Structure formats: C-alpha cells, structure tokens
Structure 1
C-alpha cells in the first residue's frame, strides 16, 4: 500500500491499483465516470496544440464491450468467491436474463470494481457514479447489491447539453445520470445550494440599501410560542416595537446587534412588524434538488476545454466535492481521464488519487495540473518509469507494452503520440509536436526501444521528415546512438526560423536525456510545450497536506 502521503496519480488498470495500492477505508469520496456502453469508439482522444485532429487513430480506449470468458467470466467467478454474494447473485441474474453480450461484459467489468471501491471507502464516505441512461438502470441494481439498497441516496439528473438533431424520431437525449450511494447511514453531507434565477431575484430581493445593496425582508416572529422571547424593543429609530404573542425569533442581545449592524427593516406603517434584512450577496442560493441544469457543459470554444471528448466541467466536480467532502479529505477517481476530478480536488484543498490506463491521460493530467497551479500541485506518479532501468524494464515487459512505451516516451518531450496500437499503423511516425511563433512548424518523433538501433533507422526518419513536409525529426532512443547515426544526423542540415539561430534538422536524443530534461532535451526555436490545449491558471492554488493510505 502507498503510504508516502501527498496526492497520487496511478498509471495502470484501476482494478489492480485498487487491490494493490489503496488501503481499506482510506477514501472519503469516490467519483467515477467510466466509459459508457454506448457503442462509441473514441479513437480521436485529443486535438493537438494547433487544434487539428491527427490523421492517425489513437484508440486509447474503446467503450464497445464484448463478453470474453477469460475477462468477463473471470470477473463473475471472482464475485462468486467473494464475500459480496448479493453482487454475485445479481450479476448472475443479469447474465441469465440478458445473455453474454456487450452489456453484461460491461456490467461484469464494473461489478468487480464497485466491490473494491466499496472496500476503500470510509464509513462516512460516498460514491458518485456518472453514467448515461444506456446502462444507468443496470448499474443502480449493481450498486444496490454492493452497497445495499438502503444506502441509495439520490439519482441526480444533469443536463449535459441542449436539444439537437437526434430528436427527430425520439425525445432529445440531453442528460446524464449520477447515482449517489453512501457506505453507511453515517455519511457526510454538506448542504448544497445553486444560484438564484434572475426571475427569483427580481421577485424576492426587491429592496435596496442606500449603497445599492439588494435585500429581501424576513419575518422576526417566532413560529412557536416562546414566552422567554417576548420583550419590548426600542430600535435606533426611536420607536418601541411590541412583541408578537409568540415572541421574537431572536434574543434581545441579538436584536440589538442586528440594529447596530443596520440589518433591521423598519416598516413605514405604524402597526407593521419589524423585519430582518436578508442580503442577496450573503444568501447561499437555492437548496439543490436532484435535477441540475447547471453547471453548463463545456462548449467547443470554452477556455476550459482541453480536447478530451468526455471532459466534464470543473464546476460540476466542485459541486460534488463541496457536498460530500471537506478540506483535507481524500477524493478518488478510478477513471480519471483528463483529470477534472483531481483538478477540482486540488483547487478545493482535498487530497486526491487518480487512476487511468493510458499514458495519454497521465501526461495530460500532469501538464494540466502544472499549468493550472503553476507548478504548486505536488503529487507522486506511480506505474511509470522513474529511471533508465525502469524504462528498459517497461520496454522489455512484453509486446503489449511496446506501443505504451512509445506513448510514454513521446510524453517525456511533450510530443503528441501517433498510431492506433497496431504494428505499422503509424507509418514510422510515433509522435509529433509543433513549434515556432504560431506553432506553424512540425517536428516528427520516432521512438526506438530495442538494442539493434542503427543508421538505417535515422535514414528512414530523414526520409519521413521530407515526405511529410516536416521541418525537424527527433530520434528518441532507449540505447545510445552509434557514430554512423550521429554522423548522418549532423549531415542532414539545419532548419532556421527567422530571428532565431538554426537548429539541427535531425536530432538524436536518448530516453535518459529526455527523462532528465523533458522538452528542453529538444532544440527548437520557441521551445514547444504541451501538445494539448493549456489549462487555465487557477488563482487560488493551494499546497496540500498529507495522506495516509
């Protein structure tokens, strides 16, 4: 178990991370937004810094599920052998009713993870599962089985978009579902409020102080009979007010304080009741219901948008965190994607744990937190190489990790990974980045992890740079380059941007150099930054405390 304190970002399968890295009853709040079973293939996860989608497919995840006895069937067996017999019975019933198909494969994947999320929650903790109506009803049944039906708290409807063209033969699908469960009846909940509508403000906050401060009037009569609160009150206007037969709502001392602070409303009519001013700028808002038509979704032109297709607004996560956690509490997102949950947690002073299975997401989250909090967000990244020995081990692990190694290596120099994970699909291009005054120039990255690197590979990169009309080629190698490789690179010439010194057209960089120097390992005019859209800076970034897992 991790016990080093601080915030934690994990690369890996969240089921393994939960089982091996997160302790029992160590988390105060779980939010998860798993890939929906909506038959959508998110092959273009990110736009690069120019705003263009890469021509290569980046299939970092695919939320079309297929039943596989080695995966889905194993999940069902694990549930049957676990203490969560109700969950096992429920999943068995679903498979029996629905059959072995994409939906039940999805539910099997979710069931074993929900069991682990229940385990890591504290008795006062809560879980929000964000989903769409495609599977929300099945997921709620699973949650009933894992958490207990009596611990269901709310089904929140969030309006995520406006009406659009899909309404021609149906009602427009515009909402997501958030299923809220607590671990026990002793769960934490902070009263939550939404903003007043302008119509409500215009109707109720109709009075103005001389300084223009808007307020409404509130009765000071006690709703119950309180003989001890029956007293005459002589206000600062010289008028003595008689109590109602029930008495005042507040003591005489409090009434005098309200008068001193200018918070009493003196009626013009002689027999009218004394009232209290409730100022709009001090009012919490409307108590939240389980239907949310805001925060509004992130539109294409929004400054918050990073280019991730399922990105949620930070304000949505801030609302959830404010309702179900306190500063210093531990927030976990096991499908953290582009990092909205950990961003909100960092902003609100919560400890956080994020898990994702793609290096694209891990790299994006690191960059997002750095940009938003100006390097003040301290966290530990797990599951990625920390030194050159770890890098070699990562590459040598098995054939499945080769493409992930390439994506990780590209991330070291903030290059945008290319390729869909199939051999030969990238056409010899493993990554790219743009540079120059308007990011108008392109650099192509080739990653090589094997020991048999040679000059032929550098020649191939040289040819690719020419064919693609790129300006620079970066050869990123796990093993040191040979002299013929270096000689060819030196002979490939230079590229120059007006007003800057020329730079080598072909640059050979070792993975070790990239680990040590990051993007600075590459020599480009106007050093390139993240391939993703830069996150807006948070003005109230704050340091985090400790976390015991």
Structure 2
C-alpha cells in the first residue's frame, strides 16, 4: 500500500530530527576531542582576531587579563613606563590601538551594529567621553570582553585586573556583557606599601573585577591564617599545655527527635528546648579527646574547646594585603613593566580552577599567568601583541625546568607572512627581525628617534 502524504511528511520530519541529533552529537564529540587533545598555546598577534578565529566556544575554564592602557600624562595610567626612558614593546604595540582613530571607530560601529545592552552602554559612554583615548580603550575592551565571555565554559569565571583610572567604566561594560547578577567581587590588592603623590592621597592599590559566566561557577574556598589580634581577642582561654582555645556552644536552638535530641551525660537537652550539635557518640569522642570543657558549676552546660588548628582559618576576603609586590631584588623579577607576582596568580588559580583545566590570558605580557598555570598543572593559552613578550615568555618557560610543551602561533614562517606583519605593524616587525638574526638583547632598550628599536649585539 502506498504511504500517505502525511506519512511521508512525518517520516521526513523524523529523519530531520535524527540527522540534527546526530549532528549535535558529532559536534559534541568534536568539542570533547578538542578539549582532551588541546596543547598549551602561545600566540603572537591581536587577541581579538585570535579569540575569534582560534578559540572555541565554551573551551576555557578561567580568564585572567591585565590589559595595558597608554594615555596622556593627565591620566593615572594603567600601564606605565619611565618618563622619556625605555619604552616597553607592549606599550608601543598598543600606542595606536588605544587611541581614537579609524580602528576605534570601526570597533564602535561594530558594537552599534550588534545592538543590545552593550551597544546602549557604549553609546552612553561615547556621549559622555566623546572621541577620546579612554573611549577608544573602552570600545576595544568591549569587543574583547564579549569574546572572552563566549569562550568561557558555563562554570567559568573572569578576573579583570586594572586600577581606579578605568575600573568604573570597565565594570559598567562587564555588567552589560556578563549581567550584573554575575558580578561576584571587586577585589582590592594593596600592590605597594606607599606612594607619594602631590596634593592627593597616595594610590597604592589595584582592582580586580571578578565575574562568573553564570551560576553555579567553580569555586574552591581558600583560607588565610588568623591574625594575632584575632587570636588574642577570641581565643582567650589556655589549656593545661598552654594552648589557646575558645568556648563554643555544643547545642542548637529547637528540639530534635533523632540522636541529637537524646539525653547525654545526664543532661536532657530536649527539656531545655534545644538539641545537641553532635550525636551523643560523637560527643563521647570529643570528650575523650579533651575537647569538651566541663564547668565547675554543678548544673553548668559543657562547652566545646575549639583550638585555632581545628579550623581552616579565615575565609578569603576581598581586600588582599598579604601579597607583596615585586621589589627590585625579587628573584622572579624580569624587569618587565606591569609584571605581577606569581603569588597573585596562584591565589586566583587555586580559587577558580582545578588542575588540568584551561587558563586563558589574552594580554599575557611577560607570562606570569602562563608560568603560574604551567607550574600548577593547568593547561594554558597566552596571547600577546608584542613579539618581545613572546620571547620573554619562551625564555621564562625554559628557565622553569623540564620540557614545556606548547604550540606557538602567529609567528611569521615565510616571506609572505613576514611581509604581512611588516605591513600591519612595522614596530613589531622590527622586534621579530632583530630577534631572528640575534642582535636584540632580551631587555628593553631606548627606542630611536624614529620610534623604531635600536639593535644591540649580543655576541
């Protein structure tokens, strides 16, 4: 019997659904393969292009970025170099990018064309700031932050490191891109002990804006040791061995019908309208271990002896004063502008990632994020627009011991790609060419009057 037209329609629809499901399953397997086989990646080039072309959707567990900002002297800039001294290769790479011009105008137009809440925020900021360098910085950051959210896994999070110059503008952008409910913390890092400033308070802190992609996000609670002041104030008792402890209640409000509601050591806790914090069997163990304080009063209630070592410490707060900045004699110091201490990145990695997960730094500079991720058994993706930074990172990885396995992308491999780099960025082409022939030392050198670099023989 010939099938009816309705049957053919249903069969066609069912086949489409099967094909769609198989396609999604193949896509899923492909994504799994990319995650399982992904090597560490170091990229030279514009992070916007690399993010869009090379980094898959929802493939990254944690993003940390410390974006440079080069402006006129009237700003307290995010990225500083000594006045009239050795210009950083990274600042040179961004000197034109963070200035209002054709590229910033193109970025603004792209955001406006996309529409949505981000376009509304950027339009409002442009109305207030005009065609300024700050506005160029913000539209460029809006593009990149949008891509960074795209590549984050649903459980992933982002830390944006900045200073008060632009943190308020960046938070508005992040609220628009990630959603205000996904803002988690504004972390204050005391980056130096003192800074003299004329006619104002000394600026001594940086800001880290912490966002999740959505809830729930990956979070590993971290703790700090108790301060002596806290110990003196709250752990005000001393036991027979001279150890400090504090009294803690062994009961909770309300009655219970289970084990915690039963009498213990002759005390009918239910009659008191309360319940034990632990079952009687556990209370016996605590007592045998000397962890229960029995008052001298006949009808006094026993209390728990809580020692500092029984507790993990104080949960990590949003003001960090214990991570010291890099001083001139620090062993890890590379004399690279804006270098951050490894301890800062170690804390972020411990809190917001696990071993084996993927860490991305799209402005990786001298590679502190890369080094911290590599040492803690995380996989990593580092991107920087300065060729000098790539060489610093490679040298840093070699100095860590063992063989660092990673793919290096964006480096000219032939005449055509070298010509494209020269056409796109003559300054970075000079860095690449000088390193290629071995006449550029691995340190910053005063730039020449033509805004080019001056070679220095290393042999």
Compute the TM-score of the two structures, normalised by the length of structure 1.
0.67
Q: Distance in 2 between matches of 1:15 and 1:421?
A: 29
| Per-residue deviation, 1:298 | 2.3
* Alignment match of 1:76 (pick from 98, 108, 119): 108
Aligned to 1:195: 225
Cα separation, partners in 2 of 1:44 and 1:98, compared to 1, 3 Å: closer
| Per-residue deviation, 1:328 | 2.6
Aligned to 2:349: 321
Q: How does 1:239-258 map to 2 (within 5 A)?
A: 243=269, 245=272, 246-258=274-286
> Is the Cα contact below 8 Å between 1:24 and 1:120 reproduced in 2?
yes
Cα separation, partners in 2 of 1:417 and 1:181, compared to 1, 3 Å: closer
| Per-residue deviation, 1:208 | 5.5
> Is the Cα contact below 8 Å between 1:195 and 1:285 reproduced in 2?
yes
Secondary structure of the residue aligned to 2:251 is coil
Cα separation, partners in 2 of 1:90 and 1:59, compared to 1, 3 Å: same
Aligned to 1:36: 69
Q: Distance in 1 between matches of 2:451 and 2:279?
A: 80
**Structure of greater relative contact order (alpha carbons < 8 Å, 6+ residues apart):** 2
Which runs of 5 or more structure 2 residues have no equivalent in the other structure? 1-30
Q: How does 1:201-350 map to 2 (within 5 A)?
A: 201-207=231-237, 214-228=244-258, 229-233=260-264, 243=269, 245=272, 246-267=274-295, 270-350=298-378
Q: Distance in 2 between matches of 1:409 and 1:256?
A: 73
| Per-residue deviation, 1:269 | 5.1
Deviations 1:33-73 (A, max 9, x none): 1113554575579xxxxxxxx9865433246632012x001
Cα separation, partners in 2 of 1:360 and 1:398, compared to 1, 3 Å: closer
Deviations 1:440-497 (A, max 9, x none): xxxx24xxxxxxxxxxxxxxxxxxxxxxxxxxxx4xxxxxxxxxxxxxxxxxxxxxxx
* Alignment match of 1:361 (pick from 367, 376, 389): 389
Aligned to 2:146: 115
* Alignment match of 2:160 (pick from 120, 129, 143): 129
Aligned to 1:384: 411
Deviations 1:163-216 (A, max 9, x none): 3320x4112212222212222233233334333222112223345666665544
Cα separation, partners in 2 of 1:364 and 1:254, compared to 1, 3 Å: farther
Cα separation, partners in 2 of 1:426 and 1:324, compared to 1, 3 Å: closer
Q: Distance in 1 between matches of 2:408 and 2:300?
A: 66
Aligned to 2:433: 406
Cα separation, partners in 2 of 1:200 and 1:411, compared to 1, 3 Å: farther
Aligned to 2:447: 420
Q: Distance in 2 between matches of 1:96 and 1:192?
A: 42
Aligned to 1:92: 123
Q: Distance in 2 between matches of 1:22 and 1:213?
A: 54
> Is the Cα contact below 8 Å between 1:363 and 1:411 reproduced in 2?
no
| Per-residue deviation, 1:396 | 4.1
Q: Distance in 1 between matches of 2:134 and 2:243?
A: 55
Compute the TM-score of the two structures, normalised by the length of structure 2.
0.78
Q: Distance in 1 between matches of 2:404 and 2:257?
A: 56
> Is the Cα contact below 8 Å between 2:58 and 2:150 reproduced in 1?
yes
| Per-residue deviation, 1:15 | 0.6
Cα separation, partners in 2 of 1:395 and 1:416, compared to 1, 3 Å: farther
Number of aligned residue pairs: 411
Cα separation, partners in 2 of 1:363 and 1:197, compared to 1, 3 Å: same
| Per-residue deviation, 1:250 | 0.7
Aligned to 2:57: 24
Q: Distance in 2 between matches of 1:212 and 1:261?
A: 16
Cα separation, partners in 2 of 1:343 and 1:68, compared to 1, 3 Å: same
Cα separation, partners in 2 of 1:145 and 1:371, compared to 1, 3 Å: same
> Is the Cα contact below 8 Å between 2:359 and 2:378 reproduced in 1?
yes
Higher helix share: 2
Secondary structure of the residue aligned to 2:128 is helix
Aligned to 2:21: none
Deviations 1:346-374 (A, max 9, x none): 333332221111222222223323333x2
Aligned to 1:172: 202
**Structure 1, 2-11 or 22-31: larger mean CA deviation:** 2-11
Cα separation, partners in 2 of 1:354 and 1:217, compared to 1, 3 Å: farther
- Whether 2:86 is the aligned partner of 1:59: answer no
> Is the Cα contact below 8 Å between 2:388 and 2:431 reproduced in 1?
no
- Whether 2:183 is the aligned partner of 1:152: answer yes
Q: Distance in 2 between matches of 1:362 and 1:408?
A: 11
Q: Distance in 2 between matches of 1:149 and 1:35?
A: 24
Cα separation, partners in 2 of 1:326 and 1:57, compared to 1, 3 Å: closer
Q: Distance in 1 between matches of 2:70 and 2:453?
A: 28
The alignment yields a C-alpha RMSD, in angstroms, of: 3.2
